[in-house]
Amino acid sequence: MSDEIDNHVELVEGEESLGPQGGERLAEARRALQMTVLEIAKELHLDEHKVRALECNDFDVIGAPVFAKGHLRKYAQLVKANEADVMADYYELTRTSGAPPALAPRSRPREAISLGPWIAAIVVILVVASAYWWYASHAVTPETRVTGEITPLPQEAQVAVEEEGATADTDDSVLEETIPISEPVAVPVPAVSADSNEMQLSITYLGDCWTEITDANGRRLFFDLGVTGRTVNLSGEAPFNVLFGDAANVSLELNGAAFQIPAADRRGPTARLTISGS
């Protein structure tokens, strides 16, 4: 009975030694700086109950994981907490609160493979290859030499050949005089048109805003928290799929011209839209 009590006490002490995790770290850092929840809410552009939810590790209240991570990073910067520790706690908390871990597949024992037949087959192949090489290297191919005498042409035949050569030369000169040489005509080469699907997007951050942008090929062009005063220039194949966590904090230029986010694409502070460039 005493052993069970000791084990229970050790378990309780182990749980208490874990210390604050995730949002709890942020709450302690906030209290150490003597800041209120309302002050944090104004800096993060959140309601007070959402700030308290972050401090209680109730991330479902925030919405999508991308928003929770963005607000945790900004909160850690505000209260000068260790951002890496806070994010490590977040991933640990969200991992343990999800579905149970999948069981690793059992490995089946490999059946013993007899190497005897394979070794015998390799030996046979080597023997056959060696025999073929020896036969090919020692085989002698008789050379056939053709000998013959060159019979000189009679004098009349030589004269006939010389006359034919002279006639051919005369014909060639006549052809050269009668056939005009045409000058080459320049053919215009059409200019290669530029890729009309290439699009340029410039983002200037007036405040912090989580941003996700992919091009038509699904390639990530930007996937990070944009901070105040930063300007990001992106290029890729149109259209762009864009998500802004706080659309009021961004100023856009599309292909060098100012671009306004349509009101229909806004849902509160968040904006999700497709920019085609047309």
Q: Tell me whether residue 70 is in a domain.
A: yes
Q: Which of 80, 96, 112 is the last residue of a domain?
A: 96
65: nearest Cα among 95, 35, 43, 44: 95
Q: Tell me whether residue 143 is in a domain.
A: no
How far apart (Å, rounded) are the C-alpha atoms in residues 249 and 35? 24
Q: Tell me whether residue 205 is in a domain.
A: yes
* pTM score, whole prediction: 0.36
What CATH number does the domain containing 35 carry? 1.10.260.40
Q: Which of 96, 123, 149 is the last residue of a domain?
A: 96
Pairing of strands 250-254, 266-267: unpaired
Q: Which residue has the tokens 């060639």?
A: 172
Range of the domain at 55: 16-96
Q: Could you list the pLDDT tens digit for every one of the 278 residues in the chain?
A: 444 444 443 443 444 446 788 789 989 989 999 999 999 989 989 999 999 998 999 988 888 899 989 989 998 999 999 999 999 999 999 886 544 444 444 555 455 556 778 898 898 899 889 888 888 877 544 444 444 444 555 555 454 445 555 444 545 543 344 445 445 444 443 443 445 689 999 999 999 999 999 999 999 999 999 999 999 999 999 999 999 999 999 999 999 999 999 999 999 999 999 998 76
Q: Tell me whether residue 171 is in a domain.
A: no
Q: Tell me whether residue 188 is in a domain.
A: no
Q: Tell me whether residue 128 is in a domain.
A: no
Q: Tell me whether residue 155 is in a domain.
A: no
Given its phi and psi angles, is residue 35 left (phi above 0), alpha (psi -120 to 50 degrees) or beta? Answer: beta
Total domains present in the chain: 2
Question: How much of the chain is helix, strand and coil, in % rounded to 5?
Answer: 45, 20, 35
Q: Which of 96, 119, 149 is the last residue of a domain?
A: 96
Q: Within 10 A of 64 (CB to CB), how many other CB atoms are there?
A: 13
Q: Tell me whether residue 191 is in a domain.
A: no
